[in-house]
Amino acid sequence: MAETDLRESKSKTILHIKKRNGTIVDFEQSKISNAIYKALVATGKGDHDLAELLASKLVNKIIKSDYLESIHKDHVLSVEDVQDMVESILIEEGLAETAKAYILYRHERRKLREVKMKILNKKDLDEVDKSLDVNSLRVLSSRYLLRDNNGEIIEGPKQLFERVAILVAISDVIHDPRIFDFKGHYSQNLSEAEVYYKKLDDFDNKLKIGGYYLNKYHFESLIRSYIDEARSGKMKVSFKDLLRLIAEGQMNSHVNKILEYYNLMVSNEFLPNTPTLMNAGARLGQLSACFVLDMPDDMYSIMKSSTDAAMIFKSGGGVGINYSDLRPEGDIVASTSGVASGPTSFMQIIDSITDVVKQGGKRRGANMGILESWHPDIEKFITMKTKPGMYENFNVSVGIWSDFWQSLVNKEDHKYSLKNPRTKATMKNIDSHQLMELIALSAWKSAEPGVIFFDNINKYNPCINAKGGPLRATNPCGEQSLYPYESCNLGSINLSKFVKRKADGMYEFDWPKYEQSIRKATRFLDNIIDVNKYPVEEIDVNTKLTRRIGLGIMGIADLLFMLRIPYDSKEGYEFMSKLAETLSYFSMDESVVIAKSRGAFPLFEKTEYKNGSVPLSGYYEIPKDLHCYDWDSLIGKIKTYGIRNSWTTTIAPTGTLSMISDVSNGVEPVFALVFEKRVTVGRFFYTNKVFENALKENGLYTDEILLKIANNYGSVRGIAEIPEWMQRVFVTAIDIHWADHIMAQAVWQKWISNAIAKTINMPGDVTVEDVKCAYLLAHEFGLKGVTIYRDGSRNEQVLHITGDDREKRFHVAPSKYLRDFVKANVNEPYVIEQISPIFRDYGATEQKSKANEGIDILLKSDITETSPSLGKTKSELFTNSISTTENDKEACPVCKNFLIITEGCNMCIECGFSSCGAG
- CB crowding 207-224: b at 16 or more within 10 Å, else e: bbbbebebbbbbbbbbbb
Q: What is the pLDDT of residue 575?
A: 98
Distances (CA, A) of 240 to 195, 255, 344, 817: 11, 21, 53, 63
Task: Identify which of 846, 844, 877, 842 has the alpha carbon closest to the alpha carbon of residue 859.
Answer: 877
- How far is 505 from 497, CA to CA, in rounded Å? 16
120/177 same-domain check:
no
> Is residue 789 domain-resident?
no
Q: What is the pLDDT of residue 60?
A: 81
Out of 244, 266, 288, a domain closes at 266
Coil, strand or helix: which one is 397? Answer: strand
33/105 same-domain check:
yes
Cα 672 off chain centre by? 18
> Is residue 36 domain-resident?
yes
208/99 same-domain check:
no
19/117 same-domain check:
yes
- How far is 761 from 561, CA to CA, in rounded Å? 20
- How far is 853 from 847, CA to CA, in rounded Å? 10
Give the structural domain span for 63.
2-129
pLDDT tens by residue, 59-105: 887 776 655 554 545 556 777 777 787 878 888 888 888 888 778 87
160/122 same-domain check:
no
Task: Identify which of 769, 764, 696, 760 has the alpha carbon closest to the alpha carbon of residue 902.
Answer: 760
166/115 same-domain check:
no
> Is residue 678 domain-resident?
no
The count of other CB atoms within 10 Å of the CB of residue 799 is: 21
> Is residue 262 domain-resident?
yes
167/117 same-domain check:
no
For residue 635, give every residue at least 6 positions away whose Cβ sits within 8 Å of its Cβ, in sequence order, or none.
612, 614
DSSP string, 171-228: HHHHT-TTTB-TT------HHHHHGGGGGTGGGTTT-EETTEE--HHHHHHHHHHHHH
Per-residue DSSP letter, 380: H
Task: Identify which of 609, 605, 617 has the alpha carbon closest to the alpha carbon of residue 459.
Answer: 617
Per-residue DSSP letter, 231: H
Length of the chain: 919
Cβ atoms 48, 34 nearer than 8 A: no
Distances (CA, A) of 71 to 20, 76, 566, 896: 17, 9, 52, 52
259/191 same-domain check:
yes
Q: What is the pLDDT of residue 36?
A: 81
260/200 same-domain check:
yes
> Is residue 290 domain-resident?
no
Out of 211, 236, 266, a domain closes at 266
Task: Identify which of 758, 741, 810, 731 has the alpha carbon closest to the alpha carbon of residue 561.
Answer: 731
Out of 86, 114, 129, a domain closes at 129
- What parts of the chain have a pLDDT lower than 50? 1-11, 70, 72, 359-361, 681, 796-802, 841-889
Is the peptide bond prior to 449 cis by the omega test (within 30 degrees of 0)? yes
> Is residue 627 domain-resident?
no
27/88 same-domain check:
yes
Distances (CA, A) of 182 to 185, 218, 291: 8, 23, 27
Q: How many domains does the chain have?
A: 2
pLDDT tens by residue, 171-189: 999 999 999 999 989 999 9
Residues marked as catalytic = 475, 477, 479
Any bridge partners for residue 415, and if so which? Answer: 431
Cβ atoms 321, 350 nearer than 8 A: yes
Any bridge partners for residue 900, and if so which? Answer: 907
Task: Identify which of 490, 507, 491 has the alpha carbon closest to the alpha carbon of residue 499.
Answer: 507
The count of other CB atoms within 10 Å of the CB of residue 106 is: 17
> Is residue 259 domain-resident?
yes
Cβ atoms 583, 651 nearer than 8 A: no
- How far is 167 from 527, CA to CA, in rounded Å? 9
Task: Identify which of 645, 257, 276 has the alpha carbon closest to the alpha carbon of residue 489.
Answer: 276
235/189 same-domain check:
yes
Element of type H or E holding 713: none
> Is residue 585 domain-resident?
no
Coil, strand or helix: which one is 412? Answer: coil
